[in-house]
Amino acid sequence: MNDNGGRWAGRLTFGVCLAIVLTFGGIAWFAPWGIDCLAGEPEQAKACSETARNIGLSVAGGFGAIIAVIALYFNARRTHTDRLRLTNDTYVKAIEQLASPSMEVRIGGMYALERIAHEEQRYHWPVIETLSAYIRERAPWPAQEKEDAKGLEAIALSSAGKVVAERLLLEPSANTMATQIQRRASVLADTEPTTTEVPQRRVSTDIQTALTIVARRVVWQPSWAKRAVSWVARWPWRLWYLVRKPLHLRLNYRPREIDLSRVNLNHTDIWRGNLLSGNLSRSNLRNVLWGYAVLSGVPLREADLRGAILVGAHLAGADLTKANLRGAIMTDVELSGADLSEARFSKHPQELGARWDEADPPKNLDKIIIEPD
């Protein structure tokens, strides 16, 4: 920090010295002409005096404007640096909170990271990747644990039915959804319990919080004041960036991948969430409540989506190769261009309420596997 301050102090000193040299150089250049002019006739001397005064005022005003611009630049630079330093300190403390044994402290750290991701563009992807890594570390899949799968699924669906009914009051498919959930719960309640390796307990609150933050991220858009300060502080480097980096490289930018593969997200809720650029291959997504979620183009290869509530979800272009969607609620799910090779369904997707554009039907629709409950 001291080295940085010394560097900027040296630059400022150089600028002041340069201004002084230019000032005295101008005076030395102008002095002979002024002396000769003032030594002439009275009227000529008066005109020369007026000209010299105007030139002096112009020079003084010019130097004043230059000094004001320099002061504004360094003030904006200092403000920008201080804000980045504060944000960096907050980011480090929030990361440390994720390792706390206290659930409340970890959740508080996650919300602090979310605020940082909204305020600073450079921290957006580091925050998303940090939370994704937290989910992969704390909720790996597969997990070796035996549970009464169908019995717990029936309980989960009966409880989830109330939540769905509340959220779908204003949705067009409310009646259909309620009927399907009740029918699914009653079928499972009448079935003999079986033993499986799939854990059916809900994920912990911190995992749900991390997933919610990842799924509700927005495009970074700072306030006009922050944009103005940032531009004033970094305009020389921005001009160099425009010259140095070809335009086509910026236009062809692709977002990073959110790696949520091989994780246990059982019973999670990201209603109307956004998981674009995510990767959920081979993950446990049983009984998730992901209605109207945006999952376009997301890899879901070999994902377990049994009992998932996906009403209104957007799965256009998604890779559902060998995914298991038996018992999933798929009313009004968009499947245009999705790859359904060897995907498992309880019924044909259209019978479950899924839809797609006739000009862009799902791929490998003839290779799906129908396994009635």
Q: Which residues lie below 8 Å from residue 48, measured CB to CB, with a gap of 6+?
A: 34, 37, 38, 40
Q: Which residues lie below 8 Å from residue 257, measured CB to CB, with a gap of 6+?
A: 277, 278, 279
In this prediction, residue 220 carries a pLDDT of 43
Average pLDDT along the chain: 75
Give Cα 366 to chain centroid, integer Å. Answer: 37
In this prediction, residue 64 carries a pLDDT of 74
Q: What is the rounded average pLDDT of the residues 319-332? A: 95
pLDDT digits (tens, 9 = 90+) for 299-321: 999 999 999 999 999 999 999 99
Query: Per-residue pLDDT for 178 more than 80?
Result: no
Q: Which residues pair with 259 in a beta bridge?
A: 279
pLDDT digits (tens, 9 = 90+) for 74-103: 777 788 788 888 888 999 999 999 999 999
In this prediction, residue 75 carries a pLDDT of 77
Q: Which residues lie below 8 Å from residue 113, measured CB to CB, with a gap of 6+?
A: 91, 94, 95, 127, 130, 131, 213
In this prediction, residue 299 carries a pLDDT of 95
In this prediction, residue 67 carries a pLDDT of 75
pLDDT digits (tens, 9 = 90+) for 150-163: 444 444 444 444 44
pLDDT band at residue 343 under the 50/70/90 scheme: very high
Query: Per-residue pLDDT for 108 more than 90?
Result: yes
pLDDT digits (tens, 9 = 90+) for 226-270: 455 455 545 554 554 444 444 434 434 456 789 999 999 999 998
More confident residue, 175 or 265: 265
Q: Which fold has domain 146-202+257-373?
A: Pectate Lyase C-like (2.160.20)
What is the three-class DSSP state of 9? helix
On whether the CB atoms of residues 313 and 292 are closer than 8 A, the answer is yes
Strands 147-148 and 195-196: antiparallel
Task: Report the distance separating Cα 369 and Cα 303, nearest Å.
Answer: 15
Q: Which residues pair with 355 in a beta bridge?
A: 334
In this prediction, residue 142 carries a pLDDT of 83
More confident residue, 35 or 348: 348
Task: Report the distance separating Cα 127 and Cα 134, nearest Å.
Answer: 10
Share of the chain above pLDDT 90, in %: 43
More confident residue, 305 or 192: 305
> Which of 213-227, 241-255, 282-296, 355-369 has the weakest average pLDDT?
241-255
Q: Is the peptide bond before 32 cis (omega within 30 degrees of 0)?
A: no
